[in-house]
Structure 1
Amino acid sequence: MSRSTAVRYDTHTTVRHSFTSTLRSIQLLSITTRSIMCTPSPLIRVLALLSAVLWAYPSYGHETDLHILVFSRTTGYRHPSIADGIDMFDRLAAERGFTVRFTEDARMFAADTLSRYDVVVFLSTTGNVLDAAQQHAFENYIRDGGGYLGIHAASDTEYDWPWYGRLVGTYFSHHPEIQQAEVLVEDNLHSSTSHLPRRWKRNDEWYNFRSNPRGQVHVLASLNERSYQGGSMGYDHPLSWCHHVDGGRSWYTAMGHTSESYREADFVEHVYNGLVWAAGNDRSDATATVHATYAKTVLADNLDQPVQIEALSDTEFLILHRNGKLVHMDSRTGTMTTVANAGIPIAGENGALGMVLGHDYRTNGTLFLLHADPVVGQYSIIRSVYDAGIRKLRSADTILRIPFDGGVCCHSGGDMAMAPDGTLFISLGDNTVPFSSGGFAPVDSAAGRAQYDAQRTSANTNSLSGKVLRIRPTDTGYEIPEGNLFPPGTAGTRPEIYAMGLRNPFRMTLDPTNGSLWVADVGPDAAKDDPKHGPMGYDEINHTAHAANFGWPYFVGANRGYLFSGGRKDTASPVNTSPNNTGLTTLPPAVAAAVWYAYSPAYVSDDFGTGGRCVAVGIIPHASEGTTSRYALQPFFHTTLLAYDFVRCNLRAVILDDDRNILKVIPIYDDKDSVGIIDITTTPNGELYALGWRDKTGRTASGSLFRLTSLHNTVGPLQARITASVTDGKLPLDVTFIGTRSTGSIARYEWDFDGDGSTDDTRPDPTHTFTKAGLYSPVLRVVDDSGNVATATMEIVAGNTAPTIWFVSPMEGEVVGLSDRIDYRVEAIDPDALPIRDEDIVVQFSLGHDDHAHPLDLTYGPAGTLHPPDIEGHGENANIYGVVTARVSDSSIGEAPSLSARTGVVLRPPMVQVEHADVLNGIVLEECMDTGGGLNAGFIDQHDYFVISPLNLHGVTAIDLRYATVTGGYLDIHADNLGGERLARIDLTGVTGGYQNWHTVRTAIPRTSTTHSYFFVASSDRGDQGLFNINWLRFVKDGDAASNPEPRDPHTSFDIYPNPVSSALHISLPAGEPGTYMLVDVLGRVVGEGSFSSPIDVSRFPDGIYRVHIRTFGGTVSTSVTVMH
């Protein structure tokens, strides 16, 4: 049959066979003929001869047995390239030795017919092509292990069949015109993409999708939307992917619109190998980036601020805690042994910061520690020798001491990395106060303000702060390797400097392939650009293969410059003229960040999620040759850098191209328990372990060690968990352990109470009596039927009872000015009746920011005053609060060690931005046109509410609330729940003339001094929808100055409506003055500009989020608008 005939059929089918299949048909005919005829004819003799030839014919490989059904029915648009696709499969069948059948007959979708095929191909199908019975048969085919391969318009098919959408991964939305684009090949190990270049340029029709399948499927390749016009999915635009579905396999590519595609060698090979994978004849992994395949196995919990972990072997680890405690952990037994306890003071961001194994650790046990002592004001790089036999440090000598200002917060940095040749990298922060610079660069060079000037450290070539150092330890100290930023002997420089211009380099790592440095730098807090100061704050991941200057405090992100009196600095030759500079005036060129992201997802180079920021880089995973660990990361990760954000509680894979530069950043894991990763490591056999904190403010001992496991080759998550009735007490100590909170298919429980390695009990929830004083680490091992083991451990102290401590003042949730002095009083008791001295009680103020905290002022004793610094640097829209913690320690009793207890209270600032409320129900956040910008709570309807918790209104006499409304209504304040006692009603019936015309109203409230969760509930007797918008509320205490409503500035405020918009966008100024607009898409491209004297036509724009920049005589302001057709 000719090709033209093959593409004209509607209901019949065509079968195409390979040469091998034809020979087998002849063979079968010969055998059948012999069985029914007595005397062989000449024809039969020929068939018999061909049969003998066939039996001796060599196999073409595993593809020979494949049977493929290609389905190309269309009830919508029909692609002319379907004929070319059929031709391609026909050629492949002949060349690769498999059987293919082409059809547009939906009756083929019956159980007995589908069972004959290994893979069903949907070749640019469109519309509804199967009835209900046929759909059911196809679902069962996939559940029975069948394969599916979809090409191009296969995603433009069966929109009313949700199961099919899940099989494909998503549905088509729209597309631009045919053009060239750059395809980013994310997985270069999968058989269907291993032949492709990492950056693949080709012509096609590029589909946009209704939803992003990322995380539900394993993405093989994606589009770089910066390389063409018309993409609407933003940074992440998956293009080809595969996944396991209900027992079957699905592989899809959105490419294949053009006829030329099916004669393009790379594309044909892409599809063919996808076909082989879908048939189950290829074991390429399809789980590495599927989020549901990851499980967290907690090995140790309730750790007190662990900061770094090093893998000594596949099952043994060293864990460094912030107070200097070093612990050995055995993951097989779950036992934890204290190796050393340095007792380092904790203040600001200081304490024990870093640890790394020496390059020769395997032969001599050398490791290095980084301590920052805030009392002495000194960093110490300590070389120690770990004796694995006795699990102790045998020696310690300080090879480098670096002074810093111990009274300054913040930015200690504090990481180390070891190169294979013994070169040691050390990262240190800028040791500069960030709280008086509005969230921008701290460059205050006025007399007496040196601590507020990062030019004295990061931009100072004669200071080691704000740097990455590179030294080579020797027997007597260290030497300077070649290749640092400044040669030894250069005046005004330190030869230890490898990289400068860093703010808070929290984590770094070395690429084992080429030795290049990756360093994560936590950035400043400004939430938006400012015409007087410069760019908003960004966190950065920096990358360099040689010594470099990363630009801080002159540049941030993509080398965006801060503003000085003489303008912005020159990136090619920045100049440091600060009187606090003791180094060179002209600095090396500034290198832009490889990855940068802000609070808002609209201002990022790569996908790191949203929320607060604390970026970190981990490791480039590897595994020993021939590893058999069922928990090892997939080989996909061996060409990725693992990065994470401590605050956003996520893990990202930074995919590297062939030159070891960034190809793409993709999400891998988001912690559902809001545990922020603080350090990660891999074992020699390729398993991934992490340290994390639940409470990022440090109020509680909430640290944990866990293994992050992909379930690609395991039967399911097995999780051991321990809780106990008590964790300390007098002898004899009876402890009831609870193991039934463990999860998985548990066959047996094994308890080791005394740490001798033997099983002491096999009950799920046993009781054990400790009769001897001491520190114990009971271990629970849970085992499933397949022999998989999970362990958990905890510490029990017998013979000593922990003290207790609580705050008398301030109270939990109390409203306090965070820059004011804070008087405190705590009470503490020791159940063992031992005396508690004033110096046993440590009280500290920390500035909370999002969901982490910066430790600041520290004092001792049961009563006193804390003096927080000026918090101006975070800006009025920042989510800030106070945290006051108190810790008390008792004395050891015989073999029972000293114990401590900790408590803390959260303090509320007088002003709370509603977008930072603890709960928002039914409320949508939108960009705010009020003074200060930021976001406001909008689209507030009847019974919508927000919650602030905990909140104690002690001393508060009134509440100021900033609102805007056309309709009006009330905001009722209830304690603890929606039906709780109503404290007050805020009257918002006074209309303001617009939802961005802002007024302030003050409402008196009754006095109260108890802590509650307060519910602020919208109500109205004028309607149910669109009641009002709220920007902020302010708690007014006795003696506070009366506040006047802030007038709306007609020159920098405007109304924009409707939003979302489908056709005509209206912009107006209350003053009626003229202005101009500029409309920018998510990629930063200007898509429209002009005056807004008339509505803006957006009907031709693709769906998405756009920035609208408005310029008037008063300046420039901007907001976002959603186009939705």
Structure 2
Amino acid sequence: VELASNLDEPLELAVLPDRSVLIIERKGAIKLFKPASNELSLVTVLPVFHGLEDGLLGLVADPDFAQNNQIFLFYSPVDKEPKQRVSRFTFKEGKLDQTSEKIIIEIPVQRQECCHSAGSLAFGPDRNLYIAVGDNTNPHNPGYYNSIDERKGRENWDAQRTAGNTNDLRGKILRVKPEPNGSYTIPEDNLFPKNGTKGKPEIYAMGCRNPYRVNVDQKTGFVYWGDVGQNTENNPARGPVSYDEFHQAKSPGFFGWPYIAGNNQPYTDFDFETNVNGPFYNPLRPVNKSPNNTGDTILPPAQPAFIWYSYDESKEFKNMGTGGKSPIMGPVFYSGLIKQPTSTTKFPEYYNGKLFIAEWMRDWINVVSMDNAGNLVSIERFMPSSKFEHPIDLEFGPDGSLYVLEYGTAWFAQNKNSRLVRIEYNKGNRPPVAQIKADKLVGALPLTVNFSAVNSFDYDKEDKLTYRWILDAGKGTKAQGAQVKHVYTKPGTYQVVLQATDNQGNSSSKTLTIEAGNEKPRANLQFTGNQTFYWPGKPISYQAKVTDKEDGTLGKGISP
């Protein structure tokens, strides 16, 4: 069910207890879809810096939103000191109280170079807040290999200063416990001790490049995120091919970037100053010797990706597709956690405990089955006959339906095909989809029109369809069959209705308008002389001719 469309860079959504949906757009707009009115409205525009990949990037509702009306936003403030900020706000009765802002955490960044802002937010079952932060590093080095350029003046091209730095919050998944007064505390079992002696205590996972969409299993507490990979040229002497990754963290750890990719395949320690290729990094004992590193030199052992894939067909995982790649992590579905258990649109038990993942470039959603320990069992395509327009966020609502935010075709643009949809489970037989084709929509009398229903279809492939037509609604001329012909002898506007019915009795209708009594005018240009090419600056002679069956020609019934 399409709820809204024509959005301007939608990034993240939050489904509220009443099934209203908050949407954020990168340039700062916050919008609200209300199911009661079936309308999308603008709540406010938050002032943000939206250059590079920054902006209003993350949104999550407090787990106790029904009681406290609090939401959390990850955004790039318009400030002299470049930073990312996560704040708590009160959202009540369709309004965002900006005076209620409580700044939870601020993350210093640089804005001289693109890229990788990430910005996703999620709560775990323990009420801890997870914050996905990009490595804030320019990836466009020659060959698009791992970002380890240590040359002076190229600090912002070196992800060792961020993702590989235990003393920096960028290129990480952070985990904090928001407190009622707007501060936060550190959970007991993050990656580093609370006293900060080994690294920033907020860090849960490090070694992330551009972690896009973090999600937390609401039963196991496992943390999931997609990480957009490097566009590496295929050169085994420098390391693995370009991998994008879906990660699963059962506990805190280091997840490789910028030293390791995929299933712990190492890059080499390449010297950009001398162009000398050094040894491969050791996944069991990664060492950060960058002059831009302000943290520990010896890093935790690298953890392999849960799923990894490149441009070609994956040999390890099914249904990943081919081409460009940008992984989007979705939720794990649990039927027992749905707040409206009697909902008729709730996903079935088949999906219980399964992980939903999406691909922004390849326009698919997949379902990952796991065993009781969280190990991958299989990957299957979800709604394989449907094409999603760059899915960028997925969330189950209190009704058990899946809400999907689609970014649309073009980057950094308002796309007509961007949209918010709700995917509902239809138990049992599904109604067919009626589709009409007509060889003429407008014409002079007598107007003969050939109608066809052959493009109608039913998602239940075994169902047989029958077709009933009303060829001039209001007058009751009827017909049956997949293809029919009708002659209109009187001028007027006619509504043609097709009803497609399956053998279970379910049906749907489609309406088409026919305008009878006036033929379309015909216009053409007649050129004198050469008609295949022209000479710049020289005039071209042509004559416009227009004829209309009812009104005549130019100068004879039709004014020039």
TM-score range, shorter chain: 0.7 to 0.9
- Aligned residues of 1:649 and 1:670 also touching (Cα < 8 A): no
Task: Mark the CA change 1:656 to 1:519 in structure 2 (over 3 Å): closer, same or farther.
Answer: same
Matched, 1:367 2:56: no
Question: Among residues 378, 394, 401, which one is paired with 1:664 in the alignment?
Answer: 378
Give the deviation of 1:594 after TM superposition.
Answer: 0.9
- Aligned residues of 1:366 and 1:386 also touching (Cα < 8 A): yes
Matched, 1:406 2:111: yes
Which residue is 1:644 aligned to? 358
Task: Mark the CA change 1:717 to 1:590 in structure 2 (over 3 Å): closer, same or farther.
Answer: farther
In structure 2, C-alpha distance between the alignment counterparts of 1:546 and 1:392, rounded to whole Å: 35
Question: Among residues 146, 152, 177, which one is paired with 1:447 in the alignment?
Answer: 152
- Aligned residues of 1:631 and 1:714 also touching (Cα < 8 A): no
- Deviation track 1:223-248 (CA, whole Å, cap 9, x = no partner) reads xxxxxxxxxxxxxxxxxxxxxxxxxx
Task: Mark the CA change 1:299 to 1:487 in structure 2 (over 3 Å): closer, same or farther.
Answer: same
Task: Mark the CA change 1:574 to 1:717 in structure 2 (over 3 Å): closer, same or farther.
Answer: farther
Which residue is 2:487 aligned to? none
Give the deviation of 1:328 after TM superposition.
Answer: 1.6
Give the deviation of 1:646 after TM superposition.
Answer: 0.6
Give the deviation of 1:671 after TM superposition.
Answer: 7.1
Give the deviation of 1:1007 after TM superposition.
Answer: 10
- Aligned residues of 2:340 and 2:398 also touching (Cα < 8 A): no
- Deviation track 1:953-993 (CA, whole Å, cap 9, x = no partner) reads xxxxxxxxxxxxxxxxxxxxxxxxxxx9699xxxxxxxxxx
Identity of aligned residues (%): 32
Which residue is 1:619 aligned to? 331
Task: Mark the CA change 1:707 to 1:625 in structure 2 (over 3 Å): closer, same or farther.
Answer: closer
Give the deviation of 1:700 after TM superposition.
Answer: 3.2
> Per the alignment, in what secondary structure is the counterpart of residue 455 of structure 1?
helix
In structure 2, C-alpha distance between the alignment counterparts of 1:626 and 1:522, rounded to whole Å: 35
Which residue is 1:873 aligned to? none
Matched, 1:485 2:197: no
Question: Among residues 287, 299, 302, which one is paired with 2:6 in the alignment?
Answer: 302
Task: Mark the CA change 1:502 to 1:420 in structure 2 (over 3 Å): closer, same or farther.
Answer: same
Question: Among residues 501, 505, 516, which one is paired with 2:211 in the alignment?
Answer: 505
> Letter of the aligned partner of 1:610 in structure 2?
T
Give the deviation of 1:787 after TM superposition.
Answer: 12
- Deviation track 1:432-467 (CA, whole Å, cap 9, x = no partner) reads 101114121010101111111110100000010000
In structure 2, C-alpha distance between the alignment counterparts of 1:520 and 1:716, rounded to whole Å: 35
Question: Among residues 608, 628, 632, which one is paired with 2:320 in the alignment?
Answer: 608
> Per the alignment, in what secondary structure is the counterpart of residue 331 of structure 2?
coil
In structure 2, C-alpha distance between the alignment counterparts of 1:665 and 1:1007, rounded to whole Å: 59
Q: Structure 1-normalised TM-score?
A: 0.37
Matched, 1:526 2:232: yes
In structure 2, C-alpha distance between the alignment counterparts of 1:517 and 1:569, rounded to whole Å: 26
> Per the alignment, in what secondary structure is the counterpart of residue 236 of structure 2?
coil
- Deviation track 1:29-53 (CA, whole Å, cap 9, x = no partner) reads xxxxxxxxxxxxxxxxxxxxxxxxx
Give the deviation of 1:714 after TM superposition.
Answer: 5.6
Matched, 1:578 2:327: no
Q: How does 1:73-84 map to 2 (within 5 A)?
A: none
Task: Mark the CA change 1:718 to 1:622 in structure 2 (over 3 Å): closer, same or farther.
Answer: farther
- Aligned residues of 2:47 and 2:78 also touching (Cα < 8 A): no
Larger radius of gyration: 1
Structure with larger RCO (C-alpha < 8 A, sep 6+): 2
Give the deviation of 1:789 after TM superposition.
Answer: 12
> Letter of the aligned partner of 1:478 in structure 2?
Y
Give the deviation of 1:678 after TM superposition.
Answer: 0.7
Which residue is 2:304 aligned to? 592
Task: Mark the CA change 1:380 to 1:787 in structure 2 (over 3 Å): closer, same or farther.
Answer: farther
- Deviation track 1:254-311 (CA, whole Å, cap 9, x = no partner) reads xxxxxxxxxxxxxxxxxxxxxxxxxxxxxxxxxxxxxxxxxxx211111111111111
In structure 2, C-alpha distance between the alignment counterparts of 1:371 and 1:416, rounded to whole Å: 11
Q: Structure 2-normalised TM-score?
A: 0.73
In structure 1, C-alpha distance between the alignment counterparts of 2:374 and 2:295, rounded to whole Å: 33
Give the deviation of 1:319 after TM superposition.
Answer: 1.1
In structure 2, C-alpha distance between the alignment counterparts of 1:344 and 1:670, rounded to whole Å: 38
> Per the alignment, in what secondary structure is the counterpart of residue 76 of structure 2?
strand
> Letter of the aligned partner of 2:222 in structure 1?
S
In structure 2, C-alpha distance between the alignment counterparts of 1:789 and 1:426, rounded to whole Å: 45
In structure 2, C-alpha distance between the alignment counterparts of 1:1007 and 1:435, rounded to whole Å: 42
- Aligned residues of 1:527 and 1:598 also touching (Cα < 8 A): no
Q: How does 1:1005-1084 map to 2 (within 5 A)?
A: none
In structure 2, C-alpha distance between the alignment counterparts of 1:433 and 1:665, rounded to whole Å: 33
- Aligned residues of 1:375 and 1:406 also touching (Cα < 8 A): no
Question: Among residues 704, 710, 716, which one is paired with 2:431 in the alignment?
Answer: 716
Which residue is 2:262 aligned to? 557
- Aligned residues of 1:314 and 1:685 also touching (Cα < 8 A): no
Which residue is 1:517 aligned to? 223
- Aligned residues of 1:347 and 1:374 also touching (Cα < 8 A): no
> Letter of the aligned partner of 2:68 in structure 1?
N
- Aligned residues of 2:25 and 2:56 also touching (Cα < 8 A): yes
In structure 1, C-alpha distance between the alignment counterparts of 2:3 and 2:44, rounded to whole Å: 21
Which residue is 2:124 aligned to? 419
Task: Mark the CA change 1:625 to 1:690 in structure 2 (over 3 Å): closer, same or farther.
Answer: closer
Give the deviation of 1:325 after TM superposition.
Answer: 1.4
Matched, 1:541 2:246: yes
Which structure's residues are more often helix, by fraction?
Answer: 1
> Per the alignment, in what secondary structure is the counterpart of residue 713 of structure 1?
coil
In structure 2, C-alpha distance between the alignment counterparts of 1:626 and 1:468, rounded to whole Å: 31
Bigger shift: 640-649 or 538-547?
538-547
Aligned residues: 444
In structure 1, C-alpha distance between the alignment counterparts of 2:115 and 2:424, rounded to whole Å: 35
> Letter of the aligned partner of 1:309 in structure 2?
L
Which residue is 2:173 aligned to? 468
In structure 2, C-alpha distance between the alignment counterparts of 1:442 and 1:374, rounded to whole Å: 28
Give the deviation of 1:360 after TM superposition.
Answer: 2.1
In structure 1, C-alpha distance between the alignment counterparts of 2:111 and 2:14, rounded to whole Å: 28
- Deviation track 1:647-696 (CA, whole Å, cap 9, x = no partner) reads 10000001111212211111113575551101111112210111102223
In structure 2, C-alpha distance between the alignment counterparts of 1:1007 and 1:601, rounded to whole Å: 50
Give the deviation of 1:541 after TM superposition.
Answer: 0.9
In structure 2, C-alpha distance between the alignment counterparts of 1:412 and 1:788, rounded to whole Å: 47
- Aligned residues of 1:408 and 1:433 also touching (Cα < 8 A): yes
- Deviation track 1:874-913 (CA, whole Å, cap 9, x = no partner) reads xxxxxxxxxxxxxxxxxxxxxxxxxxxxxxxxxxxxxxxx
Task: Mark the CA change 1:684 to 1:626 in structure 2 (over 3 Å): closer, same or farther.
Answer: closer
Give the deviation of 1:345 after TM superposition.
Answer: 2.9
Which residue is 1:683 aligned to? 397
> Letter of the aligned partner of 1:371 in structure 2?
Y
Aligned-CA RMSD value: 3.3
Which residue is 1:38 aligned to? none
Q: Which blocks of at least 5 consecutive residues in structure 2 are unaligned?
A: 270-276, 435-456, 459-466, 468-493, 496-504, 510-530, 538-560
Task: Mark the CA change 1:302 to 1:390 in structure 2 (over 3 Å): closer, same or farther.
Answer: closer
- Aligned residues of 1:649 and 1:671 also touching (Cα < 8 A): no
> Letter of the aligned partner of 2:282 in structure 1?
D
Give the deviation of 1:407 after TM superposition.
Answer: 2.1
Matched, 1:428 2:133: yes
> Letter of the aligned partner of 1:368 in structure 2?
F
Give the deviation of 1:526 after TM superposition.
Answer: 1.8
- Aligned residues of 1:595 and 1:606 also touching (Cα < 8 A): no
In structure 2, C-alpha distance between the alignment counterparts of 1:449 and 1:392, rounded to whole Å: 41
> Per the alignment, in what secondary structure is the counterpart of residue 235 of structure 2?
coil
Bigger shift: 366-375 or 305-314?
366-375
- Aligned residues of 1:516 and 1:544 also touching (Cα < 8 A): yes
Q: How does 1:799-838 map to 2 (within 5 A)?
A: none
In structure 2, C-alpha distance between the alignment counterparts of 1:585 and 1:466, rounded to whole Å: 17
Give the deviation of 1:361 after TM superposition.
Answer: 1.5
- Deviation track 1:901-936 (CA, whole Å, cap 9, x = no partner) reads xxxxxxxxxxxxxxxxxxxxxxxxxxxxxxxxxxxx
- Aligned residues of 1:598 and 1:604 also touching (Cα < 8 A): no
- Aligned residues of 1:314 and 1:683 also touching (Cα < 8 A): no
> Letter of the aligned partner of 1:438 in structure 2?
G
- Aligned residues of 1:374 and 1:407 also touching (Cα < 8 A): no
Question: Among residues 77, 84, 93, which one is paired with 1:379 in the alignment?
Answer: 84
